[in-house]
Structure 1
Amino acid sequence: MSEQENLEQIMGLIINGGNAKSDAMEAIQAAKTGDFELADQKLADSDKALVEAHHSQTGMLTQEANGEPVPITILTIHSQDHLMNAITFRDLAGEMVEMYKKMAEK
Structure 2
Amino acid sequence: MDDARMEVVMGLIMHGGNAKGQAFQAIQFAKEGKFDEAEGALKLANEELKAAHDVQTDMLTKEAQGEHTEVDLYMVHGQDHLMNAITFRDMAIELIELMKRVQKLEG
Specify if TM > 0.5.
yes
For residues 59-98 of structure 1, give each alpha carbon's deviation from its aligned partner in whole angstroms, at most 9, with x where no partner exists: 1111111111112121100011011111111000000111
Equivalents in 2 of 1:91, 1:21: separation in Å? 10
Does the CA-based 8 Å contact 1:19-1:49 persist in structure 2? yes
Q: What TM-score do the two structures reach when normalised by structure 1?
A: 0.94
Q: Which runs of 5+ in 1 are unaligned?
A: none
Match runs of 1:1-106 below 5 Å: 3-106=2-105
Q: What RMSD in Å do the two structures reach over aligned CA positions?
A: 1.2
Equivalents in 2 of 1:6, 1:58: separation in Å? 14
Offset, 1:3? 2.8
Q: How many residues align?
A: 105
Sequence identity of aligned pairs in percent?
Answer: 47
Q: What TM-score do the two structures reach when normalised by structure 2?
A: 0.93
Offset, 1:57? 0.3
